[in-house]
Structure 1
């Protein structure tokens, strides 16, 4: 009689985040330093050389790369996305404000972030319309959501 095969052990869960704080910090330490890589530019007319150090292109820890990315995103929004009409800007920051079970659910299932944000947008729009004394058919509303991932890594729940 053949022995039943033992079940294969499940592989350890993969972390949700791709970068660790250490990797982010190490990249910051090398950002903008010529010894870690650069691009050499030469003027075709006068022959003047200039070396431009590579940047880390991270947004979590490096202030210069984060500021550059923020400025580029703002310019894109103003030039290409937001129509040239009066705009009311609201900045909503959820820094560890969501209940922990909801945070864990959204981290494990990123596809659920959009529906959650749509509910938040509907509630905020309704509140602002009531405060302004307007009806939904008298105005338009929209939202731009920029999600800053945190360094908080949790293992994915087994599937």
Structure 2
């Protein structure tokens, strides 16, 4: 990776992504379908659904950055299939999605690529657009903190190193 903007994003993103990956590794398989909120009106994501969502969002950003327009809202058939996978397979898919993103960021022409995004009238550089993917990871760290308390998972090194 030679572009300073891509490297700055990757460094921050890998830390945020790693915190969430570490959390998902700590959850026992028998708790992957735990639903913290389960009422007629509201159902929170299970950890399994949350990992599937993380993979889907990461791939949506990457696909959009490659295609020239990042769009949100559609749920792919593949995303639905993720929700049926074992913990081990999900974590492999999560790692695969991350490798695909890394490969994209290593493009020596990355700083010349632009994409349309929902929050701007004008196209933006893809590394600028990808910073919102980092924000998305941080948002999920907050959600995971609540799950940690319910599942009695202790704070772990990568989380403590970033957030104390």
TM-score (norm. length: structure 1):
0.26
RCO comparison, higher one (Cα < 8 Å, 6+): 2
Query: Highest CA radius of gyration, 1 or 2?
Result: 1
Structure holding more helix per residue: 2
TM-score (norm. length: structure 2):
0.25
